[in-house]
Amino acid sequence: MLTDITLGQYFPGKSLIHQLDPRAKIICVFLFIASIFIGESYASYALMAGFVALVLALSSIPPAMIAKSLKPLWIIILLTVGIHVFTTPGRVVYEFGFLSVTEEGLRQGFLMSTRLVLLIVVSSLLTYTTSPIALTDAIERLLKPFEKVGLPAHELAMMMTIALRFIPTLLEETDRIMKAQMARGADFASGNILRRAQSMIPLLVPLFISAFRRADELAIAMEARCYRGGENRTRMKELQHTGRDWAAYGFMLVFILILVYLKFTAGKL
């Protein structure tokens, strides 16, 4: 059944990481991703790995969940390792027909794949510990300054909210229409691509009609409740940076400074 799909990957909890302001989390994730590229030595990689491990521990997200988010990407990780191991020139340690493995290659492969893994783990930590609605809010706030140059921050956020709100409803509807057409002998699963695309019409047309009807009714309901765009609108829950969030930024700053320090002193250790 379609409605069995769980939505998003928010994993509710009350950890320190959960309680951080979503804006702080988004900014820190961006800073971390940028700082990954500062690191060049084993020492800096160890520091980065340690940092991620600490955040993971603080978030009390079961590591098995993180492993699950890595699963669909293992081919890419493997490919990264392969490309670096076989294509980096340097001191050959092993020859394999026309392919040769170099010491530098091994090193590069290891570091690059570590980068990739850290990147994925950090961004999935963001979505595991932040509800979609908080993310939407944070994005709206972060984009607010760009409204002056014509970026419709409020409208984008409202669209995301409504999309999130109606995903379960439309999935349920899809399920129902599919069953109804199957009861009339529709076959969604067999035949070649063209035939299958054609067989989707009895599902898609009613689904679009219904989505438009819902959109129309929702627009009326929103207007009836005095909605007139983002102007003069306030929010029940104003996002507010607390001590925790400033601490997180401070921690992030120290982390980056150490990485920069390592880059210039430790060299290629």
Partner 1 sequence: MGEFIKIENLCHAYASSQDEQVLALDHIDLTITAGEFVAVIGTNGSGKSTLAKHLNALLLPTSGDCLINGLSTTQPENLWKIRQLVGMVFQNPDNQIVATVVEEDVAFGPENLGLPPAQIVERVETALELVGMSDYRLHGPHLLSGGQKQRVAIAGALAMQSQCLVLDEPTAMLDPLGRQEVLQTVKELHASSGMTVVYITHFMEEAAAADRIVVMGAGKVLYSGSPVEVFSQVALLKELGLDVPLAAEIAKRLRENGIDLPENIITDEELAVALCP
Partner 2 sequence: MSISLKNVTYTYMPKTPFEKTAIDTINLEIQRGEFVAIIGHTGSGKSTLVQHLNGILKPTQGTVTVDGVDLHDKKAAAKAARSKVGMVFQYPEHQLFEETIYADIAFGPKNLGLTEDEIDQRVKRAMNFVGLDFDQYAQRSPFQLSGGQMRRVAIAGVIALEPEYLILDEPSAGLDPRGRDEIFQEIVQLYQSSGITVILVSHNMEDVAKMATRLIVMNGGKVSLDGSPLEVFREPEKLKTAGVDVPPVTALLRLLKLRGLPIDDSLLTIDEAVATITTALGERKEC
176 binds partner 2 (CB under 8 A): yes
Among 17, 136, 181, 252, binds partner 2 (CB under 8 A): 181
236 binds partner 1 (CB under 8 A): yes
Kindly tell me which residue out of 1, 75, 194, 226 binds partner 1, with binding defined by CB under 8 A. Answer: 226
Shortest Å distance, C-beta 165 to partner 1: 5
CB of 5 to partner 2, least distance (A): 11
Interatomic CA distance for residues 179 and 219, integer angstroms: 29
Name which of 132, 129, 7 is nearest 60 in CA terms. 129
Q: Looking at residues 96 to 135 of the shown chain, list those that interact with partner 1 (rule: CB under 8 A).
A: 132-133
Instruction: Quote the CA–CA distance of 142 and 133 in Å, as a whole number.
Output: 14
CA dist 37 to 45, 160, 233, 236, 259, Å? 10, 31, 40, 39, 10
Residue 228: name its binding partner from partner 2, partner 1, none (Cβ under 5 to 8 Å by kind). partner 1
- Could you say whether residue 223 binds partner 1 (CB under 8 A)? yes
Q: Does 200 bind partner 2 (CB under 8 A)?
A: no
Residue 15 sits in the site that holds partner 2 (CB under 8 A): no
CA-to-CA separations, 242 to 33, 181, 247, 248, in angstroms, rounded: 23, 54, 9, 10
Binds partner 1 by CB under 8 A, chosen from 106, 111, 120, 162: 162
- Residue 205: name its binding partner from partner 2, partner 1, none (Cβ under 5 to 8 Å by kind): partner 2
Q: How far is CA 26 from CA 121, 222, 250, in A?
A: 14, 30, 15
Among 111, 210, 211, 230, binds partner 2 (CB under 8 A): 210
> Could you tell me the smallest distance in angstroms from the CB atom of residue 173 to partner 1?
9
By CB under 8 A, residue 180 contacts partner 2: yes
Q: Token pair for residue 20?
A: 């951080």
Contacting residue, 179, 233, 241, 244, with partner 1 by CB under 8 A: 233
Instruction: Quote the tokens at residue 40.
Output: 């060049």
Q: Footprint of partner 1 on this chain (CB under 8 A)?
A: 132-133, 161-162, 164-165, 168-169, 172, 213-214, 217-218, 220-228, 232-238
Q: Footprint of partner 2 on this chain (CB under 8 A)?
A: 1, 4, 173, 176-177, 179-187, 201-202, 205-206, 209-210
